[in-house]
Amino acid sequence: MKLFVGLGNPGGQYAFNRHNVGFMAIDAIAATHDFPAWRKRFSALVAEGRPGKEQVLLLKPQTFMNESGRAVGEAVRFYKLDLGDVVVFHDELDLAPGKVRVKTGGGVAGHNGLKSLTAHLGNDYVRVRIGIGHPGSKDLVTGYVLRDFAKPEHEWLEPLLGAIAENAPYLAEGANDKFQSRVAHAMQSEPDEAEKPAPRKKAEPRKKAEPRAKESEAEAKSEAPQGTLASKLRRWLGS
């Protein structure tokens, strides 16, 4: 079994903070893969399910960020998990907004949630680093991470959370590199106007092509199941 941990602060006043993007990622995974309702356990909220073939326990500590390790440590000891089975989703100042990197071990870079986890568990757990960008000065960091995502940031945040959730089964299988590459591919921006090929000259409309056009429209809808997830994410982000 894998333990997916989202880092954040409990309480509605923190729900949409940049520091809570780890909670948001876990919520997106729960919604996308139909996990059951959250329940209280290990000084946290937990939900157990299968985003793919592997069993996963989702966990959101309710101990505030700087005590996250206490809740996670309880779950790790109860299930006798190896640290390689613990996957932690957290905000990362040193990554550009919308970027995601996965690594095992490493420094904590002043992140209070990671400091607590390392103190309680050791250092060799898996980190899913979710880029939120840096405010530019160390003095501005606390205010920056404890403020809500700005409206323009929702344009990249919502698809990013959707991509993380959609590809979570790879993390559950231990295919961390594949998860990272699939999320990066999903977040690739449209080419610049100068790089786009010139538009083709429109052909004369033909009546017999109409049924195929309708079929294509139906296929497009069937291949884009994110509508429900998108609406949930908008509610989470207060938009």
Q: Under a CB-based contact definition with an 8 Å cutoff, are residues 147 and 18 in contact? A: yes
Number of independent structural domains in the chain: 1
H-helix or E-strand spanning residue 49? strand 44-49
Residue 142 lies in a domain: yes
**Amino acid letter, 115:** K
Residue 81 lies in a domain: yes
Task: Give CA–CA dist 56/69, Å, rounded.
Answer: 19
Which range marks the domain in which residue 41 is found?
Answer: 2-189+226-236
H-helix or E-strand spanning residue 12? none
User: Using the 8-state DSSP alphabet, how is residue 54 labeled?
Assistant: S
- The CATH number that applies at residue 45 is 3.40.50.1470
Residue 202 lies in a domain: no
Helical H runs in the chain? 21-32, 68-79, 112-121, 141-145, 154-166, 168-172, 176-186, 210-222, 226-236
Residue 37 lies in a domain: yes
Residue 32 lies in a domain: yes
Question: 110 pairs with which residues across the strands?
Answer: none
Residue 173 lies in a domain: yes
Q: Report the sign of the C-alpha dihedral through residues 50, 58, 172, 22, in that order.
A: positive
Whether the model pTM is above 0.75: yes
Residue 221 lies in a domain: no
Residue 220 lies in a domain: no
Enumerate the active-site residues. Answer: 19
User: Beta strand pairing status for 56-61 and 44-49?
Assistant: antiparallel
Please give the chain's pLDDT, 239 residues, in tens. 999 999 999 998 999 999 999 999 999 999 999 999 999 999 999 999 999 889 999 999 999 888 998 999 999 999 999 999 999 999 999 999 999 999 998 887 778 889 999 999 999 999 999 999 998 888 899 999 999 999 999 999 999 999 999 999 999 999 999 999 999 999 885 443 333 444 444 444 544 444 444 333 333 333 334 445 456 655 555 44
